[in-house]
A = this chain, B = another copy of it.
Amino acid sequence: MAGFKGQAEYSVDSKGRVAIPAKMRNDLNPAAKNTFTITRGFEQCIFLYPLDRWGEMEDEFRGLNMFNQEARAFVRTILRWADEVSLDGQGRVSLPKPLVEFAGLDGKALIIGSLDHIEIWNPAVFEDYLNAQASDYESLAESVMGVL
């Protein structure tokens, strides 16, 4: 199954709904049943995991040692924010209010496909994130992929 990719700037309507780009919808595995687990992302954004992929993630969490304080804190955080959302007839999901506030969304949303999950950003916040990057794309690539 091809991973998610691409970006789009769509609107968040007054009901907190955002359309998922058709290209990403087409990459959904039927096993995901048009449903995502939505949760807090890394950096200030929202992550959407297709249901099938989320199942694998849960298995990884189960493998963690719950007598370890950090493991407990990590799992608590990711699950606390998590919720299940399904696509409506128009290919949209409605975002839980707490996550809308966390990501600072208002009116516009930047949607980014990132292999096994979809990210939703406030465009302005994403801009700041980019500016805060220490290294440029070429250096990143060399550092991340250079050792292969």
Residues of chain A touching chain B, judged by Cβ–Cβ distance below 8 Å, are 2-7, 23, 37, 39-40, 42-43, 55, 58, 60-62, 64, 69-84, 96, 98, 112-116, 119, 133, 135, 137-138, 140-141, 143-145, 148
Contact = CB atoms under 8 A, between A and B. Distances in A.
- Identify which of A76, A98, A114, A135 gathers the most chain B CB atoms within 10 Å of its CB: A76
A60 B148 contact: yes
B40 A137 contact: yes
A6 B83 contact: yes
A115 B61 contact: yes
A138 to B, nearest CB: 5
A133 B43 contact: no
